[in-house]
A and B are shown apart, each in its own frame.
Chain A
Amino acid sequence: MDCFYAAIEVRDDPPLSGKPVAVGGSSRQRGVLTTCNYEAREYGCRSAMPTFKALQLCPRLIVLPTRFDVYRNESQRIRGIFRRFTEFVEPLSLDEAYLDVSHLNSSGEAVAREIRYQIREETGLTASAGIAPNKFLAKIASDWRKPDGQFEIREEEIASFVHDLPVSKIWGVGKATAEKLYAQGVRTCGDLQSVSLPDLTRQFGKFGAQLHQLCRGIDSREVEPHRERKSLSTERTFEINITLLPECAERLKDLYTELAADYQAKHRDRSIAKAFVKLKFSDFSRTTAECKISGLEEPPFHDLLEKAWKRGHNKPVRLLGVGLRFEPPPGESMQLEMFD
């Protein structure tokens, strides 16, 4: 969906049309934008940007509080439309899903066009689609003609498409991995193809093997209709290692805000079992501290940070992550634990 939450707000309040609109937390409470419309993006506003910063960039920006019940309802309607075409629907979030339509007689291109038409007719919202032989390419293609467009990568076009594709577009390649690759002169998937599998696995372990495939446009992951997320997390690798706990705690606040926004936006239907804080130290050793929580609150994360910090014996920290583990959904067999 194209800037889903903001689009819903504009649809429900037509005078907002044509104005820069965002939804998210208020600037007074250190809030961040959950999303914003294209008018706001022209000013440089982005999702996950602190609201006060977005307002500096665009003083006319209208920041509305989130209405997740409405978004979730809308999401259900849209998933209903997907299921008219295929039962293989793997939702990624409220406003994104993979659909396997390979078994249908119509072309992927035609199915996408029809789905987008029905969404617009029935919800008044616009959607964009990517059509490709696998999930990795389909996801990238869906961004290619945003908003309200679609783009297809055919089997025979894969090689030329990935050749100039920046490595940063590969899922799992964040800032740190990208920088390591840039340092070796690797900027595009084409460049990456010239790095041997042993070199990649030496540097990136298992993920190196995935990179070797992905940069060739190969991705064998299936569309999994019942995939259940087990956890939700966000993390940051610092440009300069952090040497003091209070500074780390300061960074934790931002990550917590992001995590909470992500949870509220996409996973409010899941019940939370545990919170965790992960640290990676300057020597690449890692530790994760976790505890049971019932509701989403910031203080337990600070306790966990202190616990994890102590384990590092004052080693500088290069990465901080915060996350939640979810209760398993009903219906699965559950291993009983000894020490709970």
Chain B
Amino acid sequence: MNAAATLAAPPTGAHIRAVRGELSGDLLEVSMGPHHPSTHGVFRMIVTLDGETIVRLKPVFGYLHRNHEKLAENTSYLGSMPYTDRLDYLNAMTNNWAYARAVEQLAGIAVPERAEYVRVILAELTRLLNHTCLAGFLMQDCGCSGTPLMYAFREREKILDLFESLSGSRMMCNYQRFGGCRVDPTADWLAGAKKLVGGYGAFLDEFEALLTGNEILLARTQGVGRLGAALAINAGVTGPMLRAAGVNHDLRKVDGYGVYPRFQFRVPLGAHGDVYDRYMIRILEMRESLAILRQSLAGLPAGPVMNPQAKLRGFRPKPGEAYGRIEGPKGEIGFHLVSDGGPNPWRYHVRAPSFINLTLLEDLCLGHTVADAVIILGSIDIVLGEVDR
């Protein structure tokens, strides 16, 4: 279409009435994102507004889609291990673990005890990292620009330093292997982890003193985006969002995978299922993670971190399939693998928790304002690398 043709037909009244006319009866459609800072990446919501109230909300996905699953089907099993880091790029360690666990179930590979302990230590450090960041992001979404996020990122860097000294990379760790872990943590590393765990409680106290009782936070988050238990279960919601709705479901307890049954920890549950509960659940979960870390660091057994029988090169599991899942920081992260006996998986599917937790975004936002939709989205805790895959 050339410019002259566009100018020849000026917009008629129908186009502008929605903005300029009587707003009471007209609905306004607003596109939020994909380049909106509150959408945590390239996520888009088409929001229909009646005044300032949301009456319809349609999420639009796919801006970061690169067909991760197709790429994984064209490479070996081990070849997609570094690629799982890029799914939820905050939590590479748990993505690695979920994938390794699915392959271990598919091929029946045993994992040495020390490796299970190391996995638990790394998964709980990842949970600390994710929840700290999320609390910072959520405050940013509420409008407390800067301070809480910088406090959170300061602590996150300490955990990332540990990951870097262990795996060689801050975020793209590529650390787990089928049947164990890539390198054995040294005594220095363990001392560093113990030091971090010892100091983290003080940081949480400081963070909570700043935020938890804050009047503005209470006013913004309490009663916003309420989610009932029955709907949450039916919609496949998992992780802290499900527990904030009051459902006692934590895969570390339900499946008891790895060595989790050996540790004493509690599962915090919410009562209202609103944004405040989702914030609070994460703070409480961090304290439980610290308890698990103290126990696992104290009880770490000696031994190998890799099953010597596990085969890395020329790995061809027998035909069959497996669905392996773990409790990631965002919810249930699972991998569904189908093997036809070849070196590449015939089918490789990622059950991405933040993608499925978004199912209820519209239900949570209806009747709220746009500013509330921003914090509801923030409290769901999405990472677009995982949503769009």
The answer to whether A and B assemble together is no
